[in-house]
Amino acid sequence: MTTPELTFAVLVLLLTPGPTNSLVLLAGAERGVAGAARLIPVELAGYFLTVLPLALAGTTVLADHHGLRTGLTLAAGAWVAALAVRLWRMPGTGGAAASVGARALFVTTALNPKALIFGLVLLPSPDRLAANLALFAALVALVALVWGGIGAVLRKGAGQPRAIFVLRRLASVWLAAISVVLIARGVGA
């Protein structure tokens, strides 16, 4: 895969709404772009925890341990479901607490199903792995700024406490839907 092809494939996948992007959007709505940007190292660490081992040896490990992929999918589904419940239960318009912490973003990103695609399909390359990982890191940062920026714009577009409450509820419903899909995939595997 050429560098432009890889860039396009990674960007399309990273920009797709999912659990990590939902949390970064909420961080942008709650803290602004600068607050969301402070979480970029956490997101990178979460992705690299999964992507790096998979890019180095994932195909071999998953071929030898068929249940591992199913277990990862079920774990991701359960975690995303727990996040959905947590976001739903957060205080209403009077609650000013931030709903997106570093721990939640790290675990969500490490369990993100996209990481499997990055680590097993898009990034592995015997002669270009380091360059691919550097490109991936830059694109993760760029996309995090985009999602954080969207959240910041949404925050300014409406009364802040109510807008954040609505965003939390929407993110909760979206995450619940993603968790159902993940759990169904894990059970069906």
pTM metric for this prediction = 0.76
In this prediction, residue 87 carries a pLDDT of 75
37-44 long-range contacts (CB < 8 A, ≥24 apart) are: 37/144, 37/145, 37/148, 39/100, 39/102, 39/105, 39/144, 39/148, 40/140, 40/141, 40/144, 40/145, 42/102, 42/105, 42/106, 42/109, 43/105, 43/106, 43/109, 43/140, 43/144, 44/137, 44/140, 44/141
CA distances from 160 to 50, 149, 171, 180 (A): 35, 15, 16, 30
In this prediction, residue 136 carries a pLDDT of 97
- Positive/negative CA dihedral, 74, 80, 82, 84: negative
What residues does each domain of the chain span? 3-10+18-188
Per-residue pLDDT tens digits of the chain, which is 189 residues long: 789 989 998 888 898 888 899 899 989 988 899 999 999 999 999 999 999 988 888 666 766 777 777 787 788 788 878 888 877 877 655 445 567 889 999 998 998 888 888 887 788 887 899 999 999 999 999 999 999 999 888 877 655 666 667 777 887 888 788 888 878 888 886
In this prediction, residue 160 carries a pLDDT of 63
- Positive/negative CA dihedral, 25, 31, 34, 36: negative
